[in-house]
Amino acid sequence: MPCYAIDGVLPVVDPSAYVHPTAVLIGDVIVGAHCYIGPCACLRGDFGRIVIGPGANVQDNCVLHGFPDQATVVEKNGHIGHGAVLHGCVVRRDALVGMNAVVMDEAEVGAQAIVAACAFVPAGMQVPPRTLVAGTPARPKRLLSDAEIAWKLEGTQTYQDLARRSRDSLREVQPLTALDADRPRLQRLALRTLIATKRA
């Protein structure tokens, strides 16, 4: 992976974590146990510290950055969706930040909360625990059900397993030029979309 020291400060990655080879880690970045850092994610610890807690995931094309003397933190089992931007904020344990959402400086996403896809959480906003926020700017919509919180945790555990699968089997290859007759399929996962879960 592209991993850079700055001013003598090196990133730290737990051996049980997986960081995709195209992700970029710069300076004061700490990646905890069983984390997954996806393709093209950029964690820039060149001003403030970035901490990714145990079991958290930061998916492809995410950007994490912050101000000096300010940490950008994703706590245990935090779940940061594709293309999200976190800047000088805190995402508490078991919270989810949806795809292409933006969470700004000194904002805090409470434990087990969900920030909807494409939401904008303004600087200093305090998202209450177990609450869904959505919109631009983000506004609380409702409390989350136990089933929704369980669904989120199941998704996060799937990414913890993806970290293991990636460490064990992901490798760069040349593509095939034709389809194999006996092409294998990926292992079937029990994970369903939230809408499918609600229909069941």
- 87-146, pLDDT tens digit by residue? 999 999 999 999 999 999 999 999 999 999 999 999 999 999 999 999 999 999 999 999
Domain positions in the chain: 3-143
- Return left, alpha or beta for 88; rule: phi > 0 is left, psi -120 to 50 is alpha, else beta: left
Task: Give the pair of three-digit tokens for residue 8.
Answer: 């003598």
User: What is the average per-residue pLDDT within 42-62?
Assistant: 98
Beta partners for residue 44, in sequence order:
26
User: What is the average per-residue pLDDT within 16-36?
Assistant: 97
Predicted model pTM:
0.92
What is the rounded CA–CA span in Å between residue 70 and residue 104?
Answer: 12
CATH number belonging to domain 3-143 = 2.160.10.10
Look at residue 81 in the predicted model and tell me its pLDDT.
Answer: 98
Distance of CA 3 to the CA centre of its chain: 18
Q: What percent of the chain has pLDDT over 90?
A: 86
Look at residue 2 in the predicted model and tell me its pLDDT.
Answer: 86
Q: How many CB atoms lie within 10 A of CB 114?
A: 27
Q: What is the largest CA-CA distance in the chain?
A: 57
In this model, does residue 197 exceed pLDDT 70? no
In this model, does residue 199 exceed pLDDT 90? no
